[in-house]
Chains A and B, each alone.
Chain A
Amino acid sequence: MNVTMKTTIATLIEKYFSAETTLEEEQIIRNYFASGEIDKEWLPYKALFDTFNTIGEEKSTPSVSFMPEKRKKVSIFENRKWIFAIKAVASCILIVLVVALLKNSYEDYTLHKDTYIVMNGKRINDSELAVKYANEQLAKSSQKIKKGLSKLDKLEKLQKLNQSVKKK
């Protein structure tokens, strides 16, 4: 090792322990200790810088152990997608059910809203009772009309007889 190199290393080591070295200068020191041609004066520091070298290698080389973590992140994202999809489908089903229920109740309301009965001045919203009453009244009137119209049958028969007599 030449004198210039030795002086440079000495300066760099001093700077290192004063925490004033740059990354490049630290790399020069590590390379020096990794080369094997170390001055006796600095042999005690070898173990220290070898350790740093090993840590540096570990940091610089991507570890296989990171892969499962990446996979985990992807799987969480996919899970979220599924959760959103399930939520969307559930919301759609809920909306359809609510709309169907509202439609049924509205149809039921429109079916019965104009059908009621007023007895003794009081309105009763009972469509079955109203229809029953209407049927009874219509049945009564229907019987009378049929009875009245049945007398017209005799008239029709008389007219037919007249026509047959005229033809003869």
Chain B
Amino acid sequence: MKKVILLSVILLGFIGTQQAQTLDNLFDKYCHNEKFTYVSVGKGMMNTIKNYADFDEETEDMIPTSVKILTLEEVSTGNAQLAKQIISEIMSIMNSDNFEKILEVSEKGEATYIYSKKYDDKNCDQLLLDITDEEVSIIWTRGKKK
């Protein structure tokens, strides 16, 4: 009986930690990995990002406060398994964290997804997942509704 209780507790703990996987955890997990390039742009430097405004019409209603970009290169030559793993983790987080898919563009083995989540009347997150033969790029934007 004791063993059953102990196993149940361990299993529940494991499930709990798996459910706690968030974008923050994912970026923390991979940002110092040598195979990834990670970029963080804080609030102070957001005005200097030129190409942000035209990558999505949805952003017209959003004032971005920070951008985090995680890029895995050389997918076809050696990082295919890692690419599959991170794509799987991202999709899992999008589903479990109730992100809404607002755009999907697929063509010739390449795909681009945009997910969005509104926390309240003010705060929102937007995630762009760009998958090509050569690289996987995850662009996570935190912002406030206008």
A residues with a Cβ closer than 8 A to B are 110-121, 127, 130-131, 133-135, 137-142, 144-149
Contacts and interface: CB of A to CB of B under 8 A. Distances in A.
Contact of A131 (B34, B41, B137): B41
- By size class, the interface of chain B is 35 or more
A117 B36 CA distance: 11
A114 B49 contact: no
B103 interface: yes
Interface stretch (B16-24, B50-58, B92-100): B50-58
B112 to A, nearest CB: 5
Contact of B137 (A112, A115, A140): A140
Q: Which of B42, B67, B130 has the most CB of A within 10 A?
A: B42
A30 to B, nearest CB: 93
Nearest to A128: B48
B42 A134 contact: no
A119 B137 CA distance: 14
B114 interface: yes
Contacts of B67: 134
Given A114-B44, A114-B66, A137-B69, A120 B114 contact: no
Main secondary structure of the interface of B (DSSP, over half): strand
A145 B45 CA distance: 24
A112 B44 contact: yes
Contact of B40 (A115, A135, A140): A115
Nearest to B33: A121
- Per CB-CB distance, the 10 closest pairs between chain A and chain B, nearest first, are A114-B42, A148-B105, A111-B44, A142-B55, A138-B51, A118-B38, A121-B34, A115-B45, A139-B51, A115-B42
Given A120-B34, A131-B48, A141-B137, A114 B40 contact: yes
Nearest to B128: A141
Given A114-B45, A137-B69, A137-B130, 11 more contacts: A114-B40, A114-B44, A116-B40, A121-B32, A127-B45, A134-B41, A134-B67, A135-B50, A146-B54, A147-B105, A148-B112
A130 B41 contact: yes
A117 B38 contact: yes
Contact of B55 (A120, A133, A138): A138
B139 interface: yes
Contact of B130 (A110, A113, A120, A140): A140
B33 A137 contact: no
Nearest to B66: A114
A137 to B, nearest CB: 5
Nearest to A133: B39
30 contacts: A112-B45, A113-B42, A114-B42, A114-B44, A115-B41, A120-B34, A121-B33, A130-B40, A130-B41, A131-B48, A133-B37, A133-B39, A135-B50, A135-B51, A137-B39, A137-B130, A140-B137, A141-B55, A141-B112, A141-B137, A141-B139, A142-B51, A142-B54, A142-B55, A144-B105, A144-B112, A145-B103, A145-B105, A148-B103, A148-B107
